A and B are shown apart, each in its own frame.
Chain A
Amino acid sequence: MSKKRPAAEYQKTFAFHFFRWLSGVKDPYLDEVEMHPQKEFQMDPEAVLRHEKEHDAILDKVYDPQRNMEMKLFRKLYHATSIIFCLFLIALLLVTISWLPATGTIDRPANNEVAKRYIEKGLEETGAVNIVAGMILDYRAFDTLGESHVLFTATITVLILLRLNKTEKDEAEISDRRFEPKNDAILQLVATFLVPIIIIFGIYIILNGHLGPGGGFSGGAVIGAGLVLYLNAFGFKKTERFFTEKTYKWVCFFSLSFYCLAKSYSFYTGANQLHSVIPKGTPGAILSSGLILPLNIAVGLVVACTIYAFYAMFRKGGF
């Protein structure tokens, strides 16, 4: 058994110093050895500038497509590969097409019982003379609702991407005034005659969607084109009297929610084998075919407002 040492004696032993150095409490060289005086590292501002300049020059050289051999080689390889790939794709598609059944014949897999059912029962079940309109707005109305929402979502995304803040908006308006036709007399005269005709033609296409070729999408696009012509001829001051952001919001809200409610009703009655209270009318009359006419009007309103909103947002980043 070792005897216990007093603390003062222990502090003089080698073991005490060794363990203190090991645990890092005290550095034995500190204050014992003469050290070189250390000074703070000063950066030479000119050298820093020179270094940055050299760095930029190197970057310019590296990323210059004319000088960078690697990039040049990559572009050449990319061109060659993509041309070979496209030729391969064209050959593959043509060989596949040569084995498909011939166009214009009847016995093809596309002409199955679904198309037969649409043609034979379409007039009776939907009341629409135009079978395509009856198909997209009655049998497959869910698809068309999704399509209207795609349009609405695209408008919102474009609005997010192109919206400007207050000062930028003023600048954009100034530059827009500089580039737009300044009270062009010929354009205004032509627009005075053409815009009502174009808009009436669009309304005709929408209202006759179930009787002939046309429908909500094409009629809405025609009305939107008429509005764009009016905007180009007379400027934003005139159109803001009847079309602002609020108009767009409410028109889209009411059209889409009307669409949802109407189709919910017809889905509910259809799924539960109930009799729908909406009359089909006589085929061929303008007030016929149940819900197709109001749905066409709703889709047409959404499309017309969307087209106008796209144009206005592209021109000055807002309505």
Chain B
Amino acid sequence: MGPNLLANYGEAVSAILFCIGFTNLLLQTNLIKKIIGLNIMDSAIYLFLAEKGYIAGRVAPIVVNGVTSTEAYINPIPSGLVLTGIVVSVSVTALMLSLTIRLYTRYHTLDLDEISTQLKKEGR
């Protein structure tokens, strides 16, 4: 173990959240819960990036009173990256939910195990 585990508590929480989401993705059989697990993984990554850009004692990157020195503001790059990521994650969620609806109209179940057994029964 390194020296900075307690100082990096935000990153540690994001790692734990990532693993919870990944476990959800692996072990849940319900498709909607799998999608929620994927969203939790997304949020964990965003939290990690935002923690990377945070600097204690500084304010958000909105220029106040014309002060443009580096000592006043936090790092703006992770905020921009995460802003892009949040919107993309919404479109991915919508796409996956529409695929879920298609699967439900075809197999009348949300359970992935039942869908795969029905697929095997049909010989595919």
Contact = CB atoms under 8 A, between A and B. Distances in A.
Given A140-B80, A161-B98, A150 B88 contact: yes
Interface in A24-66: 59-60, 63-65
Interface size class of B (residues with CB under 8 A): 35 or more
A165 interface: no
A118 B95 contact: no
Contacts of B117: 63-65
A119 B73 contact: yes
A143 interface: yes
B83 A132 contact: yes
B15 A150 contact: no
A118 B77 CA distance: 9
Contacts, number: 175
Contacts of A213: 60, 62
Nearest to A88: B19
A238 B94 CA distance: 25
A301 interface: no
B80 A303 contact: no
Nearest to A146: B84
Interface string B1-30: 111110111111001101100110011000
Contacts of A154: 91-92, 94-95
Interface string B53-70: 111110011110010111
B53 to A, nearest CB: 6
Interface of B: 1-5, 7-12, 15-16, 18-19, 22-23, 26-27, 51-57, 60-63, 66, 68-70, 72-73, 75-80, 83-84, 86-88, 91-92, 94-95, 97-99, 101-102, 113, 117, 120-121
Contact of A161 (B7, B68, B77, B102): B102
Contacts of B56: 103-105
A136 B84 contact: yes
Interface in A126-150: 129-132, 135-136, 140, 143-144, 147, 150
Contact of A150 (B8, B19, B51, B91): B91
A228 to B, nearest CB: 13
A146 B77 CA distance: 17
B90 to A, nearest CB: 8
Contacts of B4: 97-102
B118 to A, nearest CB: 8
Interface of A: 59-60, 63-65, 75, 79, 82-83, 85-86, 89-90, 93-95, 97-106, 108, 110-111, 114-116, 118-124, 129-132, 135-136, 140, 143-144, 147, 150-151, 153-155, 157-158, 161-162, 212-213, 215, 217, 283, 303, 306, 310, 313-314
Most A Cβ at <10 Å: residue of B66, B80, B113: B80
9 contacts: A60-B121, A89-B22, A100-B2, A100-B11, A104-B56, A115-B77, A119-B68, A150-B91, A314-B98
Nearest to A63: B117
A255 to B, nearest CB: 15
A114 B54 contact: no
A132 B79 contact: yes
Contacts of B73: 119, 131
Given A119-B72, A131-B61, 10 more contacts: A97-B11, A98-B2, A100-B11, A104-B57, A150-B88, A154-B95, A158-B95, A161-B102, A162-B101, A306-B91
A39 B16 CA distance: 74
Nearest to A60: B121
A143 B88 CA distance: 12
B84 A144 contact: yes
Contacts of A147: 84, 87-88
A58 to B, nearest CB: 11
A123 B11 contact: no
Contacts of B121: 59-60, 63
